[in-house]
Amino acid sequence: MSTTNHIARVRIVRDTYCDSLRLLVATSVMSEREDVSWAGAVMATPSGLENLAAEGFGEEVIGTAGSNDLVLAVRTSGEAAAQTALDSGTEAVYAQAPAESEGDAVAPPRTLRQAVEQMPDATVAIVSVPGEYAALEAHHALSEGLHVLLFSDNVSIEEEAELKKRGNELGLLVMGPGAGTSVISGTGLGFANSVRRGPVGVVAAAGTGAQEVSALLDRWGVGVSHVIGVGGRDLSEQIGGRMAKAAVRMLDKDPATKAILLVSKPPSQTVAREVLGQCTSTPTVATFLGLGDMETPSGVRLARTLEDGALAAARLVGVTPTATSKGVRRQVEDAIAALGEERRTVRGYYSGGTLCYEAQLIIGELLGDVYSNEPLLHDHTLPAPPGTHVLLDLGAEEYTVGRPHPMIDPTTRLEIMRREARDPEVAVVLLDVVLGYGSHEDPAGQLASVMEEISADGGPRVVAYVLGADTDPQGYARQRAALEQVGCLVTETAARAAYAAAAIASRRPELAEVH
């Protein structure tokens, strides 16, 4: 919506802390209103104020808000619309607070110490606070003898190294920072899917990578013992794989874990070998996306894609899944026949960073250079050269400043696709739909009408992948059907979606069967 004649209004709620998930919910609720062109709910930390200033909400508007204050900000068509939007954001913030039971209600704890006193049997603390406070809160949790899922971003690598060194000394896991996904003894933490228990243990330095392999293992009837997300930097030289090593050792000793699957974007080769060396008795598969060949310990095999890794792990526990591209080649041929000759490029709009990276690798290998994750220019156009394949991770920080993550709210992704996807050079629009706890309640329903609009009148074909388990709250079968009903080509795995997109753009239908 145009911002012409729109007004900017803020509401400051003093001494009110909200974690990142509540901020995202409040932002989403305000943004959904038709008369709101921009909305954001942030804590008035230095980084939060900087983000608001970039949207035109400077000190003259914000005033004296401090780090412990909540700021709700909107740009709307008028005063009444602004107040209504701010009211809805305020209600969303407080709706997330724990409801008191009748009778002797227990006040929500205000400190970690109080939480431990109320839940003395707890073993894991989830830390989701602004990055400048996250390390301190994680240290407090370790001092209480708790494993930590550090959901927060913007934790320095020095703080991460210190936390993980201390965790090693205490025999506790520090999952993160930026750990979006873990499943511990059947309980999902962060963005997780409803997956069955089973014999494969997953250690992942990649959030949607962990979701992809655990969802595939669930759909193939295998299941997972635990999914331990260690944070995207864990296998770097600076961190040295401290938590990946600890997680592998734990799974190696776990009688319920019969195979281990490691997942990561390109790690340090030295660190990767050290991590694999911790697998002393349990057969192991490693998917190190983009790393290429490397020497591995005996009994460890490498897999090239997330699907390959999940298949190999399933076979290690005696299950031979049927991952198929049946019928895809025919759909690819039909898509090619419907395209004008000038349409030769792929545009990918991803909510999952690991899925986007895997697709970049596949399409880059098959079609050549891929332009990836530079933010849009100020005039809202992509700065990629003509004829370039573009795959964007829209969950990256440059796209989520003041906006909910696209897994939670697809609004930003829809805006970008409407603006960019009908470029006359585009042959294929490629995207993921990620289900599970924490994700939008009906992501395919939100996307379907836009997908139909994009493909109309000889527009680009849409290739989609639905990452989910059969028992996810959104309903895996329903989500697939919603996309198929509007003509999307929906594949069985994320890798196969990338192969299908490459096949359509290059007019080589055989590529759809390469995998």
pTM (predicted TM-score): 0.85
Task: Work out the average pLDDT over 281-300.
Answer: 89
Average pLDDT over residues 352-368: 95
More confident residue, 265 or 153: 265
Among the listed ranges 75-84, 122-131, 378-387, which one has the minimum average pLDDT value? 378-387
Longest dimension (CA), the chain: 71
How much is the pLDDT for 303?
95
**How far apart (Å, rounded) are the C-alpha atoms in residues 16 and 42?**
11
Query: Does domain 328-513 sit in CATH 2.10.10.90?
Result: no
The percentage of residues in the chain with a pLDDT greater than 70, rounded to a whole number, is: 94
Asked whether residue 74 carries a pLDDT value surpassing 90, the answer given is yes
Weakest mean pLDDT among 391-400, 478-487, 501-510 = 391-400
- Render pLDDT for 418-451 as a digit per residue (tens, 0 to 9): 888 888 999 999 999 999 998 999 999 999 999 9
Q: Pseudo-torsion of CA 382, 387, 393, 399, nearest 10°? A: 0
Query: Do the two domains 112-316 and 328-513 of this chain adopt the same fold?
Result: yes
Percent of residues in the chain assigned helix, strand, coil, to nearest 5: 40, 20, 40
Question: What pLDDT is stored for residue 105 in this prediction?
Answer: 61
- In tens, the pLDDT along 452-504 reads 999 998 999 999 999 999 999 999 999 999 999 999 999 999 999 999 999 99
Q: How distant, in Å, are the alpha carbons of 152, 154, 168 from that of 178?
A: 5, 8, 19
- Which residues, in sequence order, are bridge partners of residue 228? 203
Q: What is the pLDDT of residue 5?
A: 61
With both helix axes pointing from N to C terminus, report the angle between 242-253 and 269-276 in degrees, rounded to the nearest 10.
20
| pLDDT confidence of residue 377 | 60
Which class in CATH covers the domain with range 7-95? alpha beta
Q: Domain 112-316 class?
A: alpha beta
313 CB-near residues (< 8 Å, 6+ apart): 200, 213, 217, 222, 259, 260, 261, 285
- Evaluate the CA torsion angle 140, 142, 145, 146 in order and state its sign: positive
Look at residue 171 in the predicted model and tell me its pLDDT: 96
Whole-number pLDDT of residue 278: 92
- Looking at residues 28-51, what average pLDDT do you find? 85
Task: Provide the pLDDT for residue 401.
Answer: 64
> In terms of DSSP bridges, do strands 70-76 and 7-13 run parallel, antiparallel, or are they unpaired?
antiparallel
Query: Which pLDDT does position 424 carry in this prediction?
Result: 92
Buried b (16+ CB within 10 A) or exposed e, 175-186: bbbbbbbbbbee
Is 343's pLDDT higher than 50?
yes
Q: 443: cis peptide before it, omega within 30°? A: no
Query: Looking at the predicted structure, is the pLDDT value of residue 364 above 80?
Result: yes
- 433 forms beta bridges with 466
**Taking residues 219-244, what's their average pLDDT?**
96
Position with higher pLDDT, 504 vs 54: 504
Residue 3 pLDDT grade (very low, low, confident, very high; cuts 50, 70, 90): very low
- Is 50 exceeded by the pLDDT of residue 1? no
pLDDT of 99 over the 50 cut: no
- In angstroms, the CA 214 to CA 192 distance is 9
Segment 111-134 mean pLDDT = 89
Mean pLDDT of 132-148: 94
* Residue 461 and residue 489 in contact, taking contact as beta carbons nearer than 8 Å: yes
Mean pLDDT (the chain, rounded): 89
Q: Which pairing describes strands 224-229 and 7-13: parallel, antiparallel, or unpaired?
A: unpaired
Sketch the domain layout of the chain as residue ranges: 7-95, 112-316, 328-513
Amino acid making up residue 141: A
Residue 415 clears pLDDT 90, i.e. is over it:
no
Name the strand (E) or helix (H) holding 402.
none
Confidence of residue 100 (pLDDT cuts 50, 70, 90): very low
